[in-house]
Amino acid sequence: MKNLKAIILAAGEGSRMKSKKPKVLHEILNKSMVDYVIETAKGCGAGEVCVVVGHKAEMVKEGIKSEGVSFALQAEQKGTGHAVMMAGDFIDENSDMMILYGDTPLITGETLAKLVEVHREEGHGVTVVSSKVEDPTGYGRIMRNDAGSFQRIVEHKDASETERLVNEINTGIYIFNGKDLKDSLGKLNNNNAQGEYYLTDCLELILNTGKKVEAVVAKDADEFFGVNSRVQLAEAAQIMKNRINRKHMENGVTIVDPANTYIGSDVVIGRDTVILPGCVIEGNTIIGEDCEVGPNSRLTDMKLGDGVTFQTSTGIESEIGNETTVGPFAYIRPNCHIGDKVKVGDFVEVKNSNIGNGTKIPHLAYIGDTDAGEKINFGCGSIMVNYDGKKKHRTVVEDGVFVGCNANLVAPVTVKKGSYIAAGSTITKDVPEEVLAVARARQTVIEGWIEKRK
């Protein structure tokens, strides 16, 4: 949307989290709460985003992964109005200003887009999102006049007994006309029980100038769930998990046990893929169609082609081609490129390696810093010895090579096309094409040794 900017308040300590880490950096499904809010603001059309930091400001700045964010410092926490004042240079009189909170990760871009639409179509000076809840304790109350129009917001601590009976609450989400916001901030005072500058007072100030102020009741109160403790963090994570899993199932993915499946918000999964119980899929993972993942697998920033089976294994920052099988109990470490119709079997570890189409690594092997071609067979116990104690070196194994069981290839070394490595060999020199390489001591039988030992 044109002429829309967002200010995200993230300066508070969050003492109820009982943590050394600032509240807004606590994660839900491997992403910080404040990053969810930043991405949602951008997703609904905010061209620029400013995060107001305060408690452990540098840690918050470093912890935010979203790009293109500016910051304002609230050195002393003197209320929400004071926090927005600290972003005064960011406020544009010719734009609408969205005010969000860094501890409300469940807000959706669709809701914010509708809020902006209502705000602009009805010509409000400010629009606030409200919600009706069973227990409004601790929240500011929306007070309306006899005609049902917005009148003011009363903070819980300042509310009378009668006002506390109102169950329509302020979610803390606002859209201000930029000029009206700037003018009202200049008139704020801290004449209240807490001695703070309340952003909510800006609404009454704008209303008194004759501008339209309205509260729009949200349909889903869960979107505005604020996280203030570890218990609430877990509750928010459950809501987010259910929301994400439902989206994938509606898009044609089978999730066998949604209650026991954890999928990050940026994950993409193709239709007719089956996710078995106990899986954690996170980061920028992309899974193709007709795959089967799990049970009990973890994928982080992975890319899987179509028809992949990934069973009871871990994969990190790597790419797997079509119709490849991985696991059980395999470990794909970062920077691996594994081709089509490859078998990476049980207790196999692959690290920083390229594996060509049709290659088989059935079990009990370590393939590290290796460029492996197509249709290679790595026997049980194949080890690429890549570390000399100071530096890592690469191994090259060309197409069609057969590596026997319990063989060590000591890098840097190259095994040329079509050769065989005898079982139990330790290869330290390059192997030519289509030969048998044997590098092991000749077996010796010593007669009478047992008797002498006795």
Kindly list the structural domains of the chain, giving each domain's residue range(s) and its CATH number in brackets, ordered by start.
4-224 (3.90.550.10), 251-437 (2.160.10.10)
Between helix 178-185 and helix 200-208 the angle, nearest 10°, is 100
Residue 183 confidence (pLDDT): 95
Of the CA atoms within 13 Å of residue 396, those in its CB half-sphere come to 11
Phi/psi for 28 (5° steps) reads: -125, 120
- Cα 152 to its chain centre, rounded Å, is 38
The one catalytic residue in 124, 156, 363, 393 is 363
Contact criterion met (CB below 8 Å) for 322 and 342: no
Amino acid at 324: T
Distance CA 415, CA 121 (A): 71
Catalytic site includes residue 363: yes
Single out the residue of 286, 287, 261, 265 nearest to residue 276, CA to CA: 261
Tens-digit pLDDT string for the chain (454 aa)? 679 999 999 999 889 999 999 999 999 999 999 999 999 999 999 999 999 999 999 999 999 999 999 999 999 989 999 999 999 999 999 999 999 999 999 999 988 988 899 999 999 999 999 988 888 888 889 999 988 888 888 888 889 999 999 999 999 899 999 999 999 999 999 887 788 898 988 998 998 999 999 998 888 888 988 899 999 999 999 999 999 999 999 999 999 999 999 999 999 999 999 999 999 999 999 999 999 999 999 999 999 999 999 999 999 999 999 999 999 999 999 999 999 999 999 999 999 999 999 999 999 999 999 999 999 999 999 999 999 999 999 999 999 999 999 999 999 999 999 999 999 999 999 999 999 999 998 888 999 988 888 8
Which position has the token pair 């920083």? Answer: 352
- The reported pTM is 0.90
